Structure 1
Amino acid sequence: MAEIMKPVIDHIQITVKDLDVAEKFYDAFFPILGFDISRKVKAFIPEHDFYVIEYSHELLAFAITSPREAFKNEEIHRRKPGALHHLAFRAESREEVDEAYRKLLEMEAVIVTPPKLYPEYAETYYAVFFKDFENIKYEIVCNQ
């Protein structure tokens, strides 16, 4: 019997409204997660008519992409069908969540909810929820 795959994400690519605005946010945010932004790569992919900025880490590649011309004025909303509702990054401790929160405040991220326990999810679920400069929602969570 073949071995079953493990649910490991290799890369994530998100389309943003304004690549310049998004780049400023992700340049400040990704070092909080351990990304070295000096490894950031920018490219234009003519076959797909988009610009992309990719941030690389040994555990995950994360890219932001320019929208197609036909969609550039659409509102970003996480409750639209097919949209990313939110993306959660795992912290090793509550202290890491708190430290990330302090750094998010420094970079002026939009804080949805400061760090707190969410017993409705799990007894030890501790998280901060925030949005990037274009309304894409993220979470940093520790479940210990």
Structure 2
Amino acid sequence: MLHHVEINISDLNRSREFWGWLLTELGYHPYQEWDSGISWKQGATYLVFVQTEERFLSHPYHRRRTGLNHLAFHATSRQQVDDMASELKRKGIAVLYEDKYPNAGGPGHYAVFFEDPDRIKVELVAPDHE
């Protein structure tokens, strides 16, 4: 079981707004908060977001470089994926691969893909059994 993931972000306030909304929708609750970071927890696993130090901000994140490619979360249903896709659009957050939605991950893979404020790709995946 995964204990936690810590992600450095470029703007704590933007990330707090984005991730706070998303993780709350997915059943996480606020866990820790300090001057340069915040975390949300569900069960035994938590996600931590920490403000990148100024001296490291000149090299922005890109998922094609070595390191994290994306985070994928379990949805409770296809309806939750569809509701999330609608809410993302309402909030002005682009849905990636929209022309292939909801099967951009391949046949039988029902998901929505989008990016956080630092362009970290996020995926919400419906259960296989639907």
TM-score range, shorter chain: 0.7 to 0.9
State how many pairs are aligned: 126
TM-score norm. by structure 1 comes to: 0.76
Aligned to 2:25: 32
Asked if the contact 1:110/1:130 (under 8 Å) is kept, the reply is yes
Give the Cα separation in 2 of the matches to 1:108 and 1:10: 32
| Identity across matched positions, percent | 28
Moved over 3 A (4+): none
Tell whether 2:103 aligns with 1:117.
yes
Q: Once structures 1 and 2 are overlaid, which stretch shifts more, 27-36 or 12-21?
A: 27-36
In the TM superposition, what are the counterparts of 1:43-122 in structure 2 within 5 Å?
Answer: 43-44=34-35, 51-82=36-67, 84-114=68-98, 115-118=101-104, 120=106
Asked if the contact 2:105/2:111 (under 8 Å) is kept, the reply is no
Q: How many angstroms does 1:106 deviate by?
A: 3.0
SS of equivalent to 2:28: coil
Larger radius of gyration: 1
Asked if the contact 1:17/1:73 (under 8 Å) is kept, the reply is no
Aligned to 1:41: 32
Aligned to 2:116: 132
CA RMSD for the aligned pairs?
1.9
Letter in 2 for 1:90: H
Asked if the contact 1:89/1:139 (under 8 Å) is kept, the reply is yes
